[in-house]
Structure 1
Amino acid sequence: MIHRFRYPHAVISKLVDGDMLEVAVFAGTQDYGYRRGYRQKIGIGIIGHTAEIRKTYITDNIEKDPYYFSNNSYTGSVICTPLFSGENFFGVLYIESKQTNEFDALDIKTIETLATHISASLNRATLYMQLQETVWMLSIVQNISKTISKSLDKDIISQQVLQALQESLGYTHISIYLLEDDYLHIINEVGYKDKSKVYRSIHISQGVHGRAIRTKSIQFIEDTSKDAGYLTADNSVTSEICVPLIQDEKVIGTINVESEGTHKLTQNDVTLLSTIATPLAIAMDNARLHEEIKKMATTDAVTGLSNRHVFEASLVAEVERAQRSGSPVSLIIFDIDSFKEYNDTYGHPAGDARLKSIADIIKKNLRKYDIAARYGGDEFAIILSGSNQQNALNFATRLREATQLDSPQQEKNEHSSAGYTLSIGIATFPQDATTHNELLFVADYAAMRAKQLGKNRIRLASDSIQR
């Protein structure tokens, strides 16, 4: 208020010991002598008088006001309005200005509206304090917070929360969604009999979830049949609570609890879930940040493929696995032909776009357990787990042909085209090498030979025949 409205002094005094008002918080640009903990009786001073009449009190000139008192002489005006926690009187909001006749009708309405919001916040705070006093409820929150703080994996975190809520409170239908762009994507759920009816993605314009996201507020639907926006995933559900997960004032997702007719959700459930939402939002956001940092540490920023460090570690692991299982593993290494010429002609932004385009071609052909990496500037490496030489050759052929499709040159088969043809080397364990270092060496040498022999071709480590 001091910052927004430039008032020199504002105080909130709360009711204590039945008939005393104690300064709980104050702020201002001028020292009026108030200190935290200062007390005055109801009926004494403007603050005490406002507490006594329980309605807004305004004086346009404090020098002439019968209730104003101070150890120093001041001029100005005052507005003082009561605060409530639910139906109970909580205290007063007191604002003092150095100007007489400071508060017009709009100011009074604004401050009374603000007082209403403060009262609503106080009511929520009171409910939270009541929740703290319930040891059983508090232990649930503490246990969940403690458990999820130990993990940086969003799937594990969500599973732990669902399990705790289901076991401790008997909730039958629970789901957690995370927001990405304008869609909520489900992370985990429990209790829905027909999984095909569970919404995997929800646009922020849809349903109770979307409303919670848009308004950044808890949605408590006591009767889902009366809510036109309710998205049905189970016909037995009769009530719903959807709580937005907010971290640093940004909505990152929702936690949603639905209940059947035999277990109606209440305001106590709203309070509990809103309390749990805070540590859950922190844990989920930490997991997201961890995932992003991990991705940055393991992923090439331009292509989105694995970086060289990940490739080298993966190659060691794959060769060791192949040694144990007796299965093959193939390594493809290739350069983009005349890529420097392409960069010099079209510029480095276009060069980056071409690198990403080739990476996308690799991804389209890659199996989920294969590994592709940007090995150097315009050099790529692909580990094909369980693939023999012929399978690797087939993969390389598809890659080579797909890369040439957009080439401005018509000769697709024999001639190299800057940025659109590849010089590829292939090596297979165990026929071409007995260690990961040997496999890397012979694959790289085969790629170098492909380039030396005229580019735009595939060379096998075990065969000098041009292909």
Structure 2
Amino acid sequence: MADRKMESKKKAQTQNISKDLKTALLNKILELQGSSLDAKELIGTLITFAQSLLGIDTVAIYANFANHEINLINSSQGTKQYTHLGHLIELIAESVDVQSPKYYNSLIPASELNIKNLSEAEENTYIYPIVSPNARQIYGVVLLTNLRLLPSNDEYKILLFVLNYITKIIEEADLSFQVDSKESKLRLLSELSASLRGMLKADKAIEIVLDRIYKFLNLDDIYFARWISAEKRLEINHEIVFDEKHTLKGFNHKVSKNNPLIKLLTKNQHMTYKNKNVKKISRVFLGKQEPSIFCLMPVIIRNELLGTIICISTKPNAEASIEDVRVVLDIAGQLAVILNQSNLYEESLSTAQREFLLNSITTMIRDTLEVRGVLEKTAREVGQVFGVHACGAFMCKEGETAFNTGSIWATKKDFEEKLATIPLVENTPFLPDPIIQSISMPDVNGVDLGEHQELIKTIGLKSYLACSLLKGDKVAGVLVLGQFEHHREWTSSEVQLLEAITDQVEMAISQAELHEHLQRAERQMNLLHQVSAAIRDSLDLSNVMARTAQDLGEIMSTSRCFIRRLSSVQPLKILATEKEYISKNQELNKAADLILEFEQEWLESINDLPDVERASAILHIEDVMERYKNATEPLKSILETIKLKSFLGIPLVAAGQVIGCLCIHQCDRNRRFTQNEIDFAGRVAAEASIAVLNADLFAKVQHEAQRDGLTGLYNQSYFKTALHHEVERAKRTGSDLSVIMIDLDYLKKFNDTYGHKAGDEAIMLVAGKMEQCLRQMDIIARLGGDEFAALLPETKLDDAEKIAKRILDTLSRTQHSCGDNLSASIGVAGTPHEERSKEAILKAMDESAYVSKREGRNRVTSSTKLDELGPIEKKPIARNEEEAKNQEKSDQ
């Protein structure tokens, strides 16, 4: 009886414990369901809780699901005993038959599995396969050791419940991931389809597709190889690479007729690294490195192979599932449709479509009335319509053999520079025959280019199409299309369209040239009118010449233009070189100050010609560097410095004399100036000659108006004007100035006794000694008769007095040819004694000189003495010694 009670009591206690465990577990599950933990975190938390709740020594879980990986071991004994089992996880998983119910929600001893070399501890380990009966797949295993629970125990059932709950968590997470993954793939296909819808540009479609696949599979590199059926070769023309070292753009692989890879691709079968032929090809991309993903996806439509997409990854965890491969194959199928549409569009351009494109381009081109504008629009519109890497319009001037860049449009700056380097010169394989009009090179490397082969290889030109621009029966230009990253088959429709466009461009250029010719003629007339008006209205020769050079340089599109004025031709003496015009788009050194040897020889030779022929003695050198390639120094260095290629010189002739020259430099190219251009420049030079002549005449008249006819000193009028300006400057700056007045003593005696020539000699001697004693900046004038004056800027009165005494001393030691020495009565006035006033200074100067004469002559009187003398009353002073004696007697 007592035993029964004891058993009943134990049973009740066990039931209570079991009930408590279940309650705790349910509460924990409810708590976790309300949390924001993901599947991996839920499983880890639940395992730890169950281990603690049920007193299990060790629990280990290994699982992979929904992009999650769990590798968790909780053990009170440490993890060492699981070292062997951890390495055999894959063997354990392979031993589980997911079709057998035995493995569903069951704990299985490790000893029952067919695993060799297990330790005793490992044999006591129980294994719980995490198997989904719905998906029929194993996600992982749970390992438990030292289970003290019997199968009949409620704790055992609770443990199975926990493990089954973990299985459900994994199953739901994996199902959700698969749904999300499918939705993501469907969304990818939908977005890609929308991006490609209506697209007719093959290159753009390939770029979009490669980018989407690259991101979808998380690849290292992806390539598109175009299949060129006619040549039986694959050519990589698009790529996205993780490392620039992996670039293979332009790589060609020629295959035999029965190549197994092409056969499989043609059958719309993709291939992976398991294929031995694919392994061989992988060495081209990876060398000996093993890839995690390497597959070839066919781009095919209606059994016509268009190319293949090559997907590569070496990332350790990268993989492409069957579902992923199917998605990529769907994308490749969409690309095949776009490429086929693009090919059909290019090959079947109807007359109506060509006319539409032609009309659109023609309208844009012919709306422009400038040649440069026509070329720019042509290059841009044709380049965009044809979808090429670069398109350029190149023009050849009459009489020249090389084609110069008119305008280039390109998708990259690099392509623009490369297209500009193509040698477009007569007798090169890049210029079309004028009769055939166009030239097409789908594979430039397959054409014999002679000496240009290396250059074309260097710039990477793959395909080339060009069409001549004719002017009458001569080639005036060429329209060029270039492909650099991959080859391109030019269809007959494209060639015909380009030829039709060039016909319209020729008419547009002719129209623009006529318009520019009329504009240029109008500008030339305006320039001649401006020069003539400037000659009439302005006597500032430097400004007139500089403006003439600038306008002429702009109208004639020259690099430099300037005018020299000469004072002598034999020997050559340059009077002045006016400010030169330099073209804005030229990085040039100034050259106007450099007289070239051939320019000097030309100018000196003109002087030997009859007067009537001098104005037409023009020097025109089309190729300066060729003519003077053997030039010696300094001409050789000068030509290299100023980069002169063509020269035009026109003499400035007035009254039969060469008075200057008009010089025009062309530095960007060799230029043959047309006769119309030379004639126009000659008319400008003739007008400039008149301007120089007028300016010289004006300068002569002005000189005569300002100078004393006998001495060449300034006259009284100029002196007073200069004094006015200096006084005003002194007022502004607070500077000093002084004046000196010199009255030559007894001039009448020289005139009466020795004649007027002797008087003139005395005046000239005074003028010379004043110039000798004064500075270059001082202004010396003859006021009239025997009176002279000097204006001394920046000079105080005391300093001026010293200078006046030096002048007097010099005059006293100067002997006239008649034997008498000179003497003078000198007056000095200036600041700071006088106020800064023209009238005050003149009055003080005059009175000081009067005092010197009154007090006996041959002396210097400063205006400071006037303060002692008071007001000066002027009386007539004797003009010679006899009058002076009579005046002294009268005063007595």
**Number of residues of Structure 1 aligned to a counterpart in Structure 2:** 326
User: Please, which of 706, 717, 721 is the counterpart of residue 298 of structure 1?
Assistant: 706
Q: CA deviation at 1:331?
A: 1.2
Counterpart Cα distance in 2 of 1:308 and 1:263: 58
> Identical aligned pairs, as a percentage?
26
User: Please, which of 216, 220, 225 is the counterpart of residue 620 of structure 2?
Assistant: 220
**Is the alpha carbon distance of 1:250 and 1:209 closer, same or farther for their aligned partners in structure 2, counting shifts above 3 Å?**
closer
Give, as a single letter, the amino acid of the residue that structure 1 aligns with 2:666: S
Does the CA-based 8 Å contact 2:559-2:668 persist in structure 1? no
Q: CA deviation at 1:423?
A: 2.3
Give, as a single letter, the amino acid of the residue that structure 1 aligns with 2:785: G
Counterpart Cα distance in 2 of 1:199 and 1:395: 44
TM-score by length of 1: 0.59
**Is the alpha carbon distance of 1:230 and 1:335 closer, same or farther for their aligned partners in structure 2, counting shifts above 3 Å?**
farther
Give, as a single letter, the amino acid of the residue that structure 1 aligns with 2:838: H
**Is the alpha carbon distance of 1:281 and 1:304 closer, same or farther for their aligned partners in structure 2, counting shifts above 3 Å?**
same
Q: Which structure is larger by alpha-carbon Rg, 1 or 2?
A: 2
Instruction: Report the equivalent of 2:651.
Output: 244
Is the counterpart of residue 158 in structure 1 residue 560 in structure 2?
Answer: no
For 1:76-115, what per-residue CA distance to the aligned partner results, in whole angstroms no more than 9, with x for missing partners?
A: xxxxxxxxxxxxxxxxxxxxxxxxxxxxxxxxxxxxxxxx
**Is the alpha carbon distance of 1:404 and 1:188 closer, same or farther for their aligned partners in structure 2, counting shifts above 3 Å?**
farther
User: Please, which of 306, 312, 337 is the counterpart of residue 720 of structure 2?
Assistant: 312
Instruction: Report the equivalent of 1:25.
Output: none
Give, as a single letter, the amino acid of the residue that structure 2 aligns with 1:210: E
Counterpart Cα distance in 1 of 2:544 and 2:820: 48
For 1:237-286, what per-residue CA distance to the aligned partner results, in whole angstroms no more than 9, with x for missing partners?
A: 24332222123444332222233362535244422221111211122222
**Is the alpha carbon distance of 1:224 and 1:406 closer, same or farther for their aligned partners in structure 2, counting shifts above 3 Å?**
farther
**Is the alpha carbon distance of 1:242 and 1:454 closer, same or farther for their aligned partners in structure 2, counting shifts above 3 Å?**
farther
Does the CA-based 8 Å contact 2:623-2:670 persist in structure 1? no
Instruction: Report the equivalent of 1:454.
Output: 856
User: Please, which of 747, 750, 759 is the counterpart of residue 339 of structure 1?
Assistant: 747
What pairs up with 1:57-68 in 2 under 5 angstroms? none
**Is the alpha carbon distance of 1:353 and 1:218 closer, same or farther for their aligned partners in structure 2, counting shifts above 3 Å?**
farther
Does the CA-based 8 Å contact 2:813-2:821 persist in structure 1? no
Higher share in strand: 1
Counterpart Cα distance in 2 of 1:354 and 1:447: 19
The alignment partner of 1:462 has SS state of helix
Is the counterpart of residue 436 in structure 1 residue 436 in structure 2?
Answer: no
The alignment partner of 2:671 has SS state of coil
Q: CA RMSD in A?
A: 3.8
TM-score by length of 2: 0.33
Counterpart Cα distance in 2 of 1:357 and 1:207: 44
Does the CA-based 8 Å contact 2:730-2:836 persist in structure 1? no
Does the CA-based 8 Å contact 1:389-1:427 persist in structure 2? yes
Counterpart Cα distance in 1 of 2:590 and 2:773: 34
Instruction: Report the equivalent of 1:198.
Output: 594
Counterpart Cα distance in 2 of 1:378 and 1:230: 58
The alignment partner of 2:578 has SS state of strand
For 1:5-58, what per-residue CA distance to the aligned partner results, in whole angstroms no more than 9, with x for missing partners?
A: xxxxxxxxxxxxxxxxxxxxxxxxxxxxxxxxxxxxxxxxxxxxxxxxxxxxxx
The alignment partner of 1:179 has SS state of strand
Q: CA deviation at 1:138?
A: 4.5
Counterpart Cα distance in 1 of 2:526 and 2:821: 58
Instruction: Report the equivalent of 1:180.
Output: 567
Counterpart Cα distance in 1 of 2:766 and 2:666: 50
Counterpart Cα distance in 1 of 2:705 and 2:716: 10
Give, as a single letter, the amino acid of the residue that structure 2 aligns with 1:400: L
**Is the alpha carbon distance of 1:139 and 1:342 closer, same or farther for their aligned partners in structure 2, counting shifts above 3 Å?**
same
**Is the alpha carbon distance of 1:133 and 1:275 closer, same or farther for their aligned partners in structure 2, counting shifts above 3 Å?**
farther
Counterpart Cα distance in 2 of 1:363 and 1:383: 12
**Is the alpha carbon distance of 1:344 and 1:328 closer, same or farther for their aligned partners in structure 2, counting shifts above 3 Å?**
same
User: Please, which of 596, 599, 603 is the counterpart of residue 209 of structure 1?
Assistant: 603
For 1:281-306, what per-residue CA distance to the aligned partner results, in whole angstroms no more than 9, with x for missing partners?
A: 12222222222222222222222222
Instruction: Report the equivalent of 2:822.
Output: 420
**Is the alpha carbon distance of 1:277 and 1:196 closer, same or farther for their aligned partners in structure 2, counting shifts above 3 Å?**
closer
Instruction: Report the equivalent of 2:270.
Output: none
Higher share in helix: 2
**Is the alpha carbon distance of 1:244 and 1:195 closer, same or farther for their aligned partners in structure 2, counting shifts above 3 Å?**
closer
Is the counterpart of residue 272 in structure 1 residue 272 in structure 2?
Answer: no
Does the CA-based 8 Å contact 1:212-1:218 persist in structure 2? no
Is the counterpart of residue 285 in structure 1 residue 684 in structure 2?
Answer: no
Counterpart Cα distance in 1 of 2:667 and 2:696: 33
Does the CA-based 8 Å contact 1:218-1:241 persist in structure 2? yes
Counterpart Cα distance in 1 of 2:647 and 2:634: 11
The alignment partner of 2:688 has SS state of helix
What pairs up with 1:361-376 in 2 under 5 angstroms? 361-363=769-771, 366-367=774-775, 369-376=777-784
Q: CA deviation at 1:373?
A: 1.6
Counterpart Cα distance in 2 of 1:146 and 1:312: 37
Instruction: Report the equivalent of 2:847.
Output: 445
Does the CA-based 8 Å contact 2:737-2:831 persist in structure 1? yes
Counterpart Cα distance in 2 of 1:206 and 1:370: 38
Instruction: Report the equivalent of 1:38.
Output: none
User: Please, which of 242, 256, 259 is the counterpart of residue 663 of structure 2?
Assistant: 256
Does the CA-based 8 Å contact 1:358-1:403 persist in structure 2? yes
Does the CA-based 8 Å contact 2:621-2:646 persist in structure 1? yes
RCO higher in structure (CA 8 A, sep ≥6): 1
The alignment partner of 1:167 has SS state of helix
Counterpart Cα distance in 1 of 2:798 and 2:788: 20
Counterpart Cα distance in 2 of 1:221 and 1:349: 58
Instruction: Report the equivalent of 1:140.
Output: 524
Is the counterpart of residue 389 in structure 1 residue 791 in structure 2?
Answer: no
Which stretch shows the higher mean deviation, 438-447 or 427-436?
427-436
